[in-house]
Amino acid sequence: MKMEINGKTRTCGLIGNPVEHTLSPMIHNTLAKLLGHNLVYVPFPVDADKVAQAVEGADALQLLGLNVTVPYKSEVIGSLREIDELACSIGAVNTLVKTEGGYKGYNTDMEGLYRAMVSEGIRIGGEQILLLGAGGAARAVAYLCAVKGADKVYILNRTLSKAQTVAEEVNRTVGREVIVPMATEDYTKLPDGKYLAIQGTSVGLAPNTEEVVIADEAFYEKIHTGFDLIYNPWETKFMKLVMKHGGNAYNGLKMLLYQGIIAYELWNDVSVSEEDAQVVYKRLREQFI
């Protein structure tokens, strides 16, 4: 359906820095076209000291919704009128929805990852999980694994104190000792067994495609399934090493797709069909292969 920008067009967007390479406009503008909504989605680069002003300005301009990306997912919380309980527990917000008198903040990264894992047939319940990283994204992953019944989640991070903080917070919230913090170099002390490994650091992201957090190939013998949150490159070094040692490996493009779809659903109060989700996924995928 052809859509023209006119007096009734509603606007959504992305705030972050940088935003030049974002694929989010492709997700939302494709959905708007598929669903016949009069909506446009644009990226807005925001300087470090202007986050509160940007949210205030968006409210004054009555923008329907915003996504928030690196490095403002925690900082933006101070500018919200209301925050969803899950986003509050995670401590990071990636979606703002216009309400009367300001924005309500949500975290769709966690549910997006969950939908991506379900669509790939990856199970969390009862699993032994290795989580590489303890940054904003890894925090949501740790929370997801704990809530969905993982047996144990070993967080390996370069900075041990950050892994400890995430473990304390998530364990307290879910009321059981499910997260175990470790320094990355202690990976040889992991209990024997086969793990689901989730790569949640920024190591290996283009252009540094030959980098990996743990280079020791013996480590990859422990992994039956590897999920990298990175999707650029299409096959990360981490994924290649998992596959070389007999495991299945997935990248983060479906997580990106579903976090966007959930945001779109919140803004427009609709449910996006799996058929439409697949049309968007095909367009995203074409950017890589």
Q: How far is the CB of 198 from ligand NAP (least distance, A)?
A: 10
Q: How many residues line the site for ligand NAP (CB under 6 A)? A: 25
**Phi, psi of 220, rounded to the nearest 5 degrees:** -75, -15
State which of residues 13, 16, 43, 200 lies at the interface with ligand NAP (CB under 6 A). 200
CB of 170 to ligand NAP, least distance (A): 15
Count other C-beta atoms under 10 Å from residue 187's C-beta: 18
Question: Please, which residue, 59 or 225, has the CB nearer to ligand NAP?
Answer: 225
Per CB under 6 A, which region of 20-28, 47-55, 135-143, 170-178 contacts ligand NAP? 135-143
**Residue 84 lies near ligand NAP (rule: CB under 6 A):** no
Is residue 13 within the footprint of ligand NAP (CB under 6 A)? no
Write the burial class of residue 12 (CB in 10 Å: 0-12 exposed, 13-18 middle, 19+ buried): buried
In whole angstroms, give the CA distance from residue 82 to residue 101.
Answer: 10
Candidate segments 21-29, 78-86, 117-125, 194-202, binder of ligand NAP by CB under 6 A: 194-202
Q: How far is CA 269 from CA 121, 169, 261, 281, in A?
A: 27, 32, 11, 21
Q: Does 134 bind ligand NAP (CB under 6 A)?
A: yes
Active site residue 73: yes
Q: Dig out the tokens for 8 from the structure.
A: 């009734």
The only residue of 201, 225, 236, 268 in contact with ligand NAP, by rule CB under 6 A = 201
33, 50, 73, 254: which is the annotated catalytic residue? 73
User: Per rule CB under 6 A, is residue 255 in the interface with ligand NAP?
Assistant: yes
| Strand (E) or helix (H) holding 161 | helix 160-174
Mark 20-59 with x for binding to ligand NAP (rule: CB under 6 A) and - for no binding: ----------------------------------------
Single out the residue of 14, 124, 256, 272 in contact with ligand NAP (rule: CB under 6 A).
256
Residue 108 in contact with residue 262, Cβ under 8 Å?
Answer: yes
Please report how close the Cβ of residue 3 comes to ligand NAP at its closest, in angstroms: 26
The CB-nearest residue to ligand NAP is: 135
148 contact partners, CB below 8 Å, separation of at least 6: 114, 124, 125
Q: Transcribe 253-274 into DSSP letters.
A: HHHHHHHHHHHHHHHHT----H
CB neighbour burial string for 146-164, b if at least 16 within 10 angstroms, e if fewer: bbeebebbbbbbeebebbb
| Residue number, 133 or 247, with CB nearest to ligand NAP | 133
Give the residue among 210, 200, 121 at the shortest CA–CA distance from 154: 200
Nearer to ligand NAP, 29 or 259 (CB): 259
Q: Is 230 in the site for ligand NAP (CB under 6 A)?
A: yes
Q: Which of 144, 197, 212, 229 binds ligand NAP (CB under 6 A)?
A: 229
What gap in Å lies between CA 192 and CA 244, rounded to an integer? 20
Pairing of strands 128-132, 152-157: parallel
Yes or no: say if 154 and 190 are a contact pair by the CB < 8 Å rule.
yes
Residues contributing to the site for ligand NAP (CB under 6 A): 70, 109, 133-138, 157-159, 162, 200-203, 205, 213, 229-231, 252, 255-256, 259
Active site residues: 73
